[in-house]
Chain A
Amino acid sequence: MPSTAATGQESTTFAARELTKRFGARTALNAISFELVPGELVAVIGPNGAGKTTLLSMLAGVQRPSSGEVTLPPERIGWVPQQPALYSKLSVAENLRLFARLEQLADPEAAVTTMLAQTDLEDRADEEVGRLSGGNQQRVNIAIGLLSEPSALLLDEPSSSLDPRQRERLWSFIGGLAGRGTTVVYSTHNVAEAERYADRVIVLADGELLFIGTPTELEATVGGDPRDFEAAFVRFLHERGH
């Protein structure tokens, strides 16, 4: 399900320039740079410890980079952490209302209503979040990330705790967002999800940016069976010494 990015306007909305993060002597991310266009769906993939979550945290403004910059300010970026960042004792509507007020939106109630409709959670609005299924909690989690109608949405492993049916609904929803012009960047361990839904993939390993391009381009760099993207990805990492 490729997004409409490649076919629409190609102006850059979101860029990272020489992003570096050090924890003491250890370099978690080393001079990462890329540019994304509106409506683009980008997957960040890589082995464990590659720096995927660190990259998304810095793009979201949760962590400060040791050096480098992100072109969009945090308030124009929606952030969906891996674990649902919700208050389990509050209802769905109360969670949305709280963050709408903290975001200082002009009309918090309207934003809550819109998000409940977009995430198809109107019937569960008054239910405590702690009683929702993992899939519905993730929908609320994403809805909060979208409250301010951001230019870009960052999702850290959004489908990791979902069953196949919930995953399908999630990607359908995210595809809709990208279709409406929101740049979406997500990290995932599921390489098949990257191939299936992403316009481009960013491959990280040990804090280094190894590749940015379409899944097809990644397969082309290593050759082999074009029907097996995961094998191509593993071969790619192996060839790069990871």
Chain B
Amino acid sequence: MRWLFIKDLQILRRSPLLVGLLIVYPIAIALMIGFALSSPPGKPKVAYYSAVAPGQGAINFGSQKINISSYAGQLFQSIQPIRVHSRDEAIAKVRSGEALAALIIPADIPQQIQSLVTTGVGSPTVELVLNSKDPLERQFVDQAINSRLNDVEQAVSKQVLRVAVSDLGQVLNGGSIQFLGQSFPLLGLRNSRTILRGTIASLPAGSPLKVALQQVVDFSTLAIQGLGFASPVLGSIGTPLTVNRTELSGSTTPTDAYAVAIAVIVSLMFLALLLAAGMLAIEREEHAYSRLVRGLISPGRLLGEKVVLSAACAGAVALLMAACVSAFVHLQWGRFPLWVISLAFAALAFGALGVAIGGLAREVRAASLLAFLLALPIAFVALVPANAVSGGLKAVLDVVAFVFPFKAALQAVGNAFNGTEPGIGWPLLHLLVLTVAFWGIARLSLRRFAQ
């Protein structure tokens, strides 16, 4: 069998363009997938115009001022602002394509908010101008800005509530109030009630003032109870719901490591599939198959040679890729033997699938095309999140993902890289079963090969 190995390596060596393409193409695809999965979406460019004059962004509420201009910074966390000096300039930026959207803050936004928080009347409004040429970009910008505006709204609401609760506290317990640069003491309901009770006690029995003052004391007691109850209620509105997060499935794969595992498996898959399918089909295309199997080598050993050759090449490239990427993303080098084992099992399974394709297609071009057409759907089916599709379709996708090696390979390699759940045993066994099954299909397909 080693002479066939040498022969195949000689053929590959004399096809440098093909081999280069076989290596570069899957790595390029893998890196793109990896970047797409691990990189946060970029910030959209948004023309930003605030008509609020400098220093005019504050609203008065109770005894305090809230500067709404300070919340613009939050908005800029999810957009890349292009600051402009007029509404028309903002819209022109969108029309020219320089900005994907324009966010325009009207001059009276502080007054609108002031009106809302003091009287409950009004609906503060900002203007968003979107570029509707590209619906995907439009959706992206819309979501980015709306999500951040919601955050700003929540932050302002919280601040207003904090002021309201603070003022209520002063009404209840007393304190001081700033007015025209001077501090004035504020007595508070509780202190008032104490003073009144002292006054009532000091009055002579039968004094007509006693009854009247007692009514005021009773009212203040009721008010203290009511307002004392209102303060925590108002405070709770600011943060109505707290989420306690618990992971049930043990340790999870970090996003970056998961992306690396996907990238590595995609490269390995392309290389193993295309090499195995092509190298087997070439035996028939060169008419050598009939010469080989008449006693020189059995069909089973010929398949074995193709599977091992393609797995060795693909596994080596995948291992090298993982080693290089580990310079940027944390992978556990202490588990290196498991990297090798998991990549070897995955490569053998994809190699076996490759020879099955090569055996069925019988021609190099058809085999390459078939392998190419199968590769990406196999990957995408395995990557569909559990809740992304309805139950029936999900069951079908699960079956498809089960009968191809991508998902098991991803689980095995993901575990090998970071020791994450599920364990490595079942995925390796799954890959082994798939290797045998595809080898069997390839063996059957060879019956037509000599014809």
Chain A interface (Cβ < 8 Å from any Cβ of B): 57, 60-63, 73-75, 79, 81, 83-90, 94, 98-99, 101-103, 128, 144
Docked CA distance A159–B292 (Å): 22
Docked CA distance A218–B297 (Å): 41
Question: CB within 8 A of A62: which of B3, B4, B294?
Answer: B294
Q: Which of A61, A62, A75, A94 has the most CB of B within 10 A?
A: A62
Instruction: Let me know if A102 and B15 touch, CB within 8 A.
Output: no
Can you name 10 A-B residue pairings with CB atoms under 8 Å? A60-B290, A62-B450, A63-B450, A87-B11, A89-B11, A90-B10, A90-B14, A94-B7, A98-B3, A102-B292
B287: CB under 8 A from chain A? yes
Instruction: Let me know if B295 and A144 touch, CB within 8 A.
Output: no
B286: CB under 8 A from chain A? yes
Instruction: Let me know if B288 and A86 touch, CB within 8 A.
Output: yes
Docked CA distance A84–B288 (Å): 8
B43: CB under 8 A from chain A? no
Tally of contact residues, B, Cβ under 8 A: 20
Instruction: Let me know if A89 and B294 touch, CB within 8 A.
Output: no
Instruction: Let me know if B7 and A86 touch, CB within 8 A.
Output: no
Instruction: Let me know if B11 and A90 touch, CB within 8 A.
Output: yes
Docked CA distance A84–B450 (Å): 14
Docked CA distance A234–B37 (Å): 72
Instruction: Give, as a whole number of angstroms, the nearest-CB distance from B32 to chain A.
Output: 32
Instruction: Let me know if B7 and A90 touch, CB within 8 A.
Output: yes
Please report the number of residue pairs spanning A and B whose Cβ atoms sit closer than 8 angstroms.
Answer: 60
Is the contact region of chain B dominated by helix, strand, or loop, or is it mixed? loop
Chain B interface (Cβ < 8 Å from any Cβ of A): 3-4, 6-7, 10-11, 14-15, 286-288, 290-297, 450
Docked CA distance A81–B4 (Å): 20
Docked CA distance A219–B223 (Å): 132
Docked CA distance A102–B4 (Å): 8
* Residues of B close to A90: CB separation below 8 A: 7, 10-11, 14
Instruction: Let me know if A62 and B293 touch, CB within 8 A.
Output: yes
Docked CA distance A98–B297 (Å): 12
Docked CA distance A60–B14 (Å): 32
* Residues of B close to A102: CB separation below 8 A: 3-4, 292, 296-297
Instruction: Let me know if B450 and A57 touch, CB within 8 A.
Output: yes
Docked CA distance A103–B294 (Å): 11
Docked CA distance A75–B293 (Å): 11
**A85 and B291 in contact (CB under 8 A), knowing A57-B450, A62-B450, A98-B3?**
yes
Docked CA distance A4–B405 (Å): 61
Docked CA distance A86–B286 (Å): 6
Instruction: Give, as a whole number of angstroms, the nearest-CB distance from B117 to chain A.
Output: 80
* Residues of A close to B294: CB separation below 8 A: 60-62, 74, 79
Instruction: Let me know if A85 and B3 touch, CB within 8 A.
Output: no
Nearest A residue to B1 via CB reads A102
Nearest B residue to A86 via CB reads B286
Docked CA distance A85–B294 (Å): 13
Nearest A residue to B12 via CB reads A89
Instruction: Give, as a whole number of angstroms, the nearest-CB distance from B351 to chain A.
Output: 21
* Residues of A close to B6: CB separation below 8 A: 98
Q: Which of B3, B4, B286 has the most CB of A within 10 A?
A: B286
Instruction: Let me know if A84 and B287 touch, CB within 8 A.
Output: yes
Instruction: Let me know if B293 and A85 touch, CB within 8 A.
Output: no
